[in-house]
Amino acid sequence: MNKNFRVITINGVRGIIVAIFIVFGLVSGFIVSPGWVCMSLWNVIFDQSNIVSTMNLFQGILLWAIIALSLYALNNRRALIGFGSYQGLSPEQIRDIMNRARQSENKIFNDIKKKDELKNEDTISSTDTMHSEEINVEDINEVRK
């Protein structure tokens, strides 16, 4: 069990009101306020332009979400998004991979060779016995005549 784990208990109506207040404070501080700033900046920048329309608060929140998620994705080291950050494999790693591939390829070829040799030995021995049986049958037929 984790010793740093803490349980938050909410007791009664007062606890519920405090929890709701905390949730609304976090939402307004991290979502609504930056969305309002984005909306205001957009409307100030494009106010004189007739090309782009003005934004409302919901659109400002969506713009803030796009900006925040893009910054998170680009700054996260574990993210799959990267621009020119692939460094490739070192020559030692490439040699190691190639050696392992050759070893597994040789093993597969050796296994196939062994199977083919066993099949050839079986077919040779079976054809030898078949020929000897045919000869014996012919000899028997000649003797009967």
Same domain, residue pair 67 and 95 = no
Asked if residue 39 and residue 18 are part of one domain, the reply reads yes
Among 22-31, 47-56, 86-95, where is mean pLDDT lowest? 86-95
Q: What is the pLDDT of residues 95-131, one digit of tens each?
A: 998 999 999 988 888 888 888 887 777 666 555 555 5
Start-to-end CA distance of the chain, whole Å, equals 97
* Total domains in the fold of the chain: 2
Same domain, 131 and 97: yes
Same domain for 101 and 66: no
Residue 142: its pLDDT value, please?
59
Say whether both 61 and 98 belong to one domain: no
145, 94: one domain? yes
Q: Evaluate whether residue 133 is within a structural domain.
A: yes
Q: Of the candidates 73, 66, 71, 65, which has an alpha carbon nearest to the alpha carbon of residue 30? A: 65
Question: What is the dihedral sign for C-alpha 29, 31, 34, 40?
Answer: negative
Tell me the whole-structure pTM to 2 decimals.
0.47
- Domain check: are 96 and 61 in the same one? no
DSSP 4: T
Q: Could you tell me if 60 and 35 are in contact, meaning their C-beta atoms sit under 8 angstroms apart? A: yes
Residues 23, 63 share a domain: yes
For residue 29, the enclosing domain spans 12-75
62 with 111, same domain: the answer is no
Assigned domain for 119 exists: yes
Class of residue 62 by CB neighbours under 10 A (exposed 0-12, middle 13-18, buried 19+): middle
Do 16 and 42 lie in a common domain?
A: yes
pLDDT in tens, 11-43: 888 889 989 999 999 999 999 999 999 999 999
Residue 100 lies in a domain: yes
Residue 5 within any structural domain of the chain:
no
Same structural domain, 107 and 59: no
CB 52, CB 73: distance < 8 Å:
no
